[in-house]
């Protein structure tokens, strides 16, 4: 997969790439441990991370929740076809619906939005789908399995 070209102010070197890769998989690693992995001091790693944050390359640190263990076993991708995009009301609804919305993408093509959502039950999913109908026509795909990509 080719990477999009970065402008010069956002250019990263191989060490920055390593730091980003490690942080994506080990977000709780200490600066000292991270420094040992990339052969730098903890302070040098901290400085590099701060520069990556300032450039907007690292935007946030987050937790990856295992939704089925957390009580949301039903994983669905919902494509919403809307005549006229109604982003603001849809986003407000999704924020207040009580289900786990992993991602909400506005996309090109006939389906204007793709929602990556977890539900506690089929009944909850049906209730949300009925409410989503006011924003457009829904197509639902159930996720059967999450395929883990090998480390590169």
DSSP string, 56-89: TSS--------HHHHT--EEEEEEEE-SS--HHH
**pLDDT over 90 (residue 125):** yes
pLDDT mean over 44-61: 95
Q: pLDDT (tens digit, 9 = 90+) per residue, 61-113?
A: 888 888 999 999 999 999 998 866 667 888 899 999 888 999 999 998 877 89
Contact predicate 23/34, CB 8 Å: yes
Arithmetic mean of pLDDT over the chain: 89
CA distance 94 to 128: 9
Closest CA to 57 of 29, 26, 19: 19
Distant-in-sequence, close-in-space partners of 73: CB < 8 Å, separation ≥ 6: 67, 118, 120
pLDDT at 8: 67
CA distance 152 to 148: 12
Q: Which domains does the chain have, with CATH numbers?
A: 10-54 (1.10.10.10), 67-142 (3.30.70.920)
**pLDDT over 60 (residue 3):** no
pLDDT at 50: 97
The sheet that has 74-81: what strands, in order across it? 100-106, 113-119, 74-81, 137-142
The three-class DSSP label of residue 24 is helix
- Integer-rounded Cα radius of gyration of the chain: 20
Q: How far is CA 108 from the centre of its chain?
A: 19
pLDDT mean over 10-29: 93
């Amino acid at each position: 997969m080719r990477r999009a070209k970065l402008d010069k102010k956002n250019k990263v070197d191989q060490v920055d790439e390593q730091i980003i890769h490690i942080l994506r998989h080990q977000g709780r690693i200490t600066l000292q441990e991270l420094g040992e992995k990339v052969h730098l001091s903890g302070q040098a790693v901290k400085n590099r991370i701060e520069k990556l944050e300032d450039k907007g390359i690292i935007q946030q640190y987050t937790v990856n929740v295992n939704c089925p263990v957390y009580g949301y076993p039903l994983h669905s991708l919902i494509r919403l076809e809307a005549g006229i995009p109604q982003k603001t009301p849809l986003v407000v609804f999704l924020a207040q619906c009580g289900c786990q919305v992993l991602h909400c993408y506005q996309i090109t093509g006939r389906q204007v939005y793709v929602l990556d959502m977890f539900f506690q039950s089929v009944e909850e999913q049906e209730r949300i789908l009925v409410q989503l109908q006011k924003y457009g026509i829904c197509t639902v795909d159930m996720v059967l399995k999450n395929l883990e990509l090998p480390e590169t």
